[in-house]
Amino acid sequence: MIKAIIFDFDGVLVESVDIKTRALAELYKEYGKEIIDKVVAYHLKNGGVSRFEKFRYYHNVLLGKNMSEEQERGQGHRFSSLVEDMVIKCPWVTGAKEFLNKFYKKIDFHIASGTPDSELLRIIKSRNMSHYFITINGSGRKKGEIILDVLNEYNYDSNMVYMVGDALSDYEGAMEANISFVGRVPENQKNPFPPGIIQTAQPFIYLSSLLS
């Protein structure tokens, strides 16, 4: 029996991953195509990682520059401005809205996202999604820490909780908390998960089959 499901947000509930990729390319276009390609590649490989961790990597490792807290905040603000409106308007992942509508009164739903809390809350409110979720958790903590906190706060048996994500960090967080994991891998996209992991382009069909 499934008691709760914890969802990543981008690329799991809404088709917003490409939006953030384009925004990062725009942020770093002044450094040329080679840097843009490396920025995008790192972003795609580390989909569930906080944007601020990514900014530090891009500056420290790719550009060989130190990044002050003020610069980090400024970069975060520019990134948020580029993506927030687009994410609000982007389409749902196929089946996500119907699944949430059908089951949110029967199963506890939570979000564990790499998007900053304030931005995530604004997006979810603007998309009229708030009522679906018991908790909405943004960046600042690793996925495993968020999941463990949710398990402890709501006294869930880990055997009755699933995590749905599209990045390796989502999977690693689920393994840290010892809960089941379903990976979303869109068609024609590379599978980032280890062999034997449940992965599908249509996670809500799979989840519905478990609940029927």
H or E segment to which residue 153 belongs? helix 143-154
* pLDDT tens per residue, range 152-167: 999 999 999 999 999 9
pLDDT at 210 over 90: yes
Q: Quickly state the pLDDT bin for 150 (edges 50, 70, 90).
A: very high
- Residues 6+ away with beta carbon under 8 Å from 52: 72, 76, 139
pLDDT over 90 at 44, yes or no: no
Mean pLDDT of 110-134: 94
Residue 4, phi then psi, degrees to nearest 5: -150, 150
pLDDT band with cut points at 50, 70 and 90 for residue 45: confident
| pLDDT at position 51 | 86
Average pLDDT over residues 20-47: 91
Check if the beta carbon of residue 202 is closer than 8 Å to that of residue 94: yes
Asked if the model's pLDDT at residue 85 lies above 90, the reply is no
47-to-32, 69, 86, 114, 155 alpha-carbon distances in Å: 22, 22, 18, 8, 28
Q: What is the pLDDT of residue 49?
A: 81
Confidence at 116, pLDDT banded by 50, 70, 90: confident
